[in-house]
Amino acid sequence: MKSLPLFSLFILLTLFPGAGFTQPLNQKLRVVVLTDIENEPDDAQSLVRFLTYVNQWDVEGLIATTSVHQQKRIAPERIRRIVEAYGKVRANLLLHEKGYPETEFLLSKIKPAIPKYGMAAVGPGNDSEGSEHIIAVVDKPDNRPVWVPVWGGANCLAQALWKVRQTRTPEAVDKFVGKLRVYTISDQDDTGPWLRRTFPNLFYIVSPGFHDKGGYEHSTWRGISGDVFPYAPSLAGPDSNIVNNAWLDANIRKNHGPLGAEHPHTDYIMEGDTPSFFGLIENGLSVPEHPNYGSWGGRYELYTPRTRKWFLEPETRPIWADAEDQVQGINGGWYSSNQATIWRWRQAYQHDFAARMDWTIKPYKEANHPPVVKLAHPNALSVKSGKEVTLSGAGSSDPDGNELSYDWIYYPEVGTYSGSRLPVISNRKQPVASLVAPKVEKPETMHFILAITDNGTPTLTRYQRVILTVFP
């Protein structure tokens, strides 16, 4: 079946954001990471967290690159060091979940890009182990797409696509591009705009890009650990006490074995690159092919072409970029921001990381494990206006026998329904809840998230998403 052109996909998702929604299959995602590791501590931090989830994916590349912050150097040796630390705790991780890959396998996936900056590394004579490896990975006889979280500059990917474009037919190029799913943490070199302009059908998520005055104050990814008002923390919406160095020392670094010891002290922002793979984690909330649905990694909308001041160049194609959620902070205030699409989940993802670091050193019975969330009905439901809808997660359980708490969350920013009357969810904090479908003039979609949290230490949360289509 031919894939939809990007603009047609935009129209489909705009009118019916629930179209094509299916629960993720029991099929691992293919992942190739590009990282300007050693530019500052956050790449090493993100790699430590990434490796605690590495059993969920088929990791096919860990590529050391440059960026605007590190233009003439790459550091594959630091990737190797952290992977070797993972190797020292892998046996313990396997006590808690299956599938953690052999250390030698991951070491074999570490590749260097060319130590040049931006577009200077794209064109004749700029092939590298990294760019050739990307081509080889995408060319495998595997129908699964290849997810490319880009933590620094994108020039290694750009070189791979440049070569494919030079050596293959337009049809073959389209097929190659169609297998890629890219998420860049801003534009950290000048190849991002070139990629989006040259390959208009490339699936591309980007938070606001780097601009000539520097800084990323408005970037979605800053929600991973930033405050709403960094110079007045008392006004902040999210809890900053679970992302600072004191918390990280206690829960990640100290007394957490060789892998925890590789999580460096935060100098600027904790794990600024982590949102690029948060949406790939199997937690019941993420639907990777739908960035507009929202996940731990944030929520993104497919914008039509227009000039946006924070990009290096005007965009000429629809592009996945930052969206806003309205979220209640810990002080009771309400905040509308793109960063809130990430920090609204902060306690859940920090506790999850802390639990996985416990897995690196503790036996199964001394650690906590996430609940298993099951719905008593499909993830997609339909109803007529005025009729009652039952939402049930009654089949959920906890592997450690912990008590469970339930929360049915209405996610208004995601669906098409925009009525002024918010749905009233009866028994919202119970396994079985209900609501009366609102009045609509045409078919509308509404997203509900079941969040279930155990009472273990640390508390852990998992989800299921229900998309309700309401008919007149």
Apex CA 433: angle with CA 430 and CA 435, to 5°? 150
Q: Is residue 28 part of a domain?
A: yes
Beta partners for residue 325, in sequence order: 337
Domain check: are 93 and 206 in the same one? Answer: yes
State residue 21's pLDDT score.
52
- CA–CA dist 271, 247 (Å, integer): 14
- Assign residue 257 a region: left if phi > 0, alpha if psi is -120 to 50, beta otherwise? left
Q: Is residue 41 part of a domain?
A: yes
State residue 178's pLDDT score.
98
- CA–CA dist 386, 436 (Å, integer): 6
Domain check: are 62 and 189 in the same one? Answer: yes
- DSSP designation for 201: T
In the listed set 348, 382, 404, which residue is the last one of a domain according to the structure? Answer: 348
- Quickly tell me which residue has 């935060």 as its tokens: 266
Domain check: are 235 and 173 in the same one? Answer: yes
Domain check: are 229 and 377 in the same one? Answer: no
Specify the DSSP element, H or E, that contains 175.
helix 170-178
- CA–CA dist 368, 389 (Å, integer): 34
135 touches 177 (CB < 8 A): no
- CA–CA dist 109, 107 (Å, integer): 5
State residue 8's pLDDT score.
39
- Quickly tell me which residue has 């040259």 as its tokens: 198
- CA–CA dist 118, 116 (Å, integer): 7
In the listed set 348, 382, 405, which residue is the last one of a domain according to the structure? Answer: 348
**Domain tally for the chain?**
2
Domain check: are 325 and 378 in the same one? Answer: no
Q: Is residue 358 part of a domain?
A: no
Domain check: are 324 and 291 in the same one? Answer: yes
Q: Is residue 344 part of a domain?
A: yes
Tens place of pLDDT per residue across the chain (472 aa): 333 344 334 333 434 444 445 445 578 999 999 999 999 999 999 999 999 999 999 999 999 999 999 999 999 999 999 999 999 999 999 999 999 999 999 999 999 999 999 999 999 999 999 999 999 999 999 999 999 999 999 999 999 999 999 999 999 999 999 999 999 999 999 999 999 999 999 999 998 654 444 455 678 999 999 887 665 666 668 999 999 999 999 999 999 999 999 999 999 889 999 999 999 999 999 999 999 999 999 999 988 665 455 455 666 678 898 899 999 998 888 888 899 999 999 999 999 999 999 999 999 999 999 999 999 999 999 999 999 999 999 999 999 999 999 999 999 999 999 988 889 999 999 999 999 999 999 999 999 999 999 999 999 999 999 999 999 9
Name the residue range of residue 150's domain.
6-348
Domain check: are 218 and 289 in the same one? Answer: yes
Domain check: are 375 and 344 in the same one? Answer: no
Q: What is the DSSP string of 17-62?
A: TTTT--PPPS-PEEEEEEE-TTSSHHHHHHHHHHHHTGGGEEEEEE
Q: Is residue 362 part of a domain?
A: no
253 touches 243 (CB < 8 A): no
Domain check: are 235 and 334 in the same one? Answer: yes
Q: Is residue 241 part of a domain?
A: yes
Q: Is residue 230 part of a domain?
A: yes
Predicted TM-score (pTM) of the model is 0.92
Q: Is residue 360 part of a domain?
A: no
Domain check: are 255 and 143 in the same one? Answer: yes
Q: How far, CA to CA in Å, does 336 sit from each of 208, 323, 328? A: 17, 10, 9
Domain check: are 176 and 311 in the same one? Answer: yes
Domain check: are 339 and 436 in the same one? Answer: no
- Residue 105's domain is classified under what CATH number? 3.90.245.10
In the listed set 282, 316, 348, which residue is the last one of a domain according to the structure? Answer: 348
Closest-CA residue to 312 (of 199, 183, 214, 220): 214
- DSSP designation for 251: I
Closest-CA residue to 193 (of 34, 60, 43, 307): 307
Number of H helices, E strands in the chain: 13, 16
Closest-CA residue to 355 (of 441, 446, 252): 252
- Residue 424's domain is classified under what CATH number? 2.60.40.10
290 touches 302 (CB < 8 A): no
Q: Largest Cα–Cα distance in the chain?
A: 65
Apex CA 174: angle with CA 173 and CA 180, to 5°? 95
State residue 232's pLDDT score.
63
Residue type, 453: T
- CA–CA dist 113, 148 (Å, integer): 14
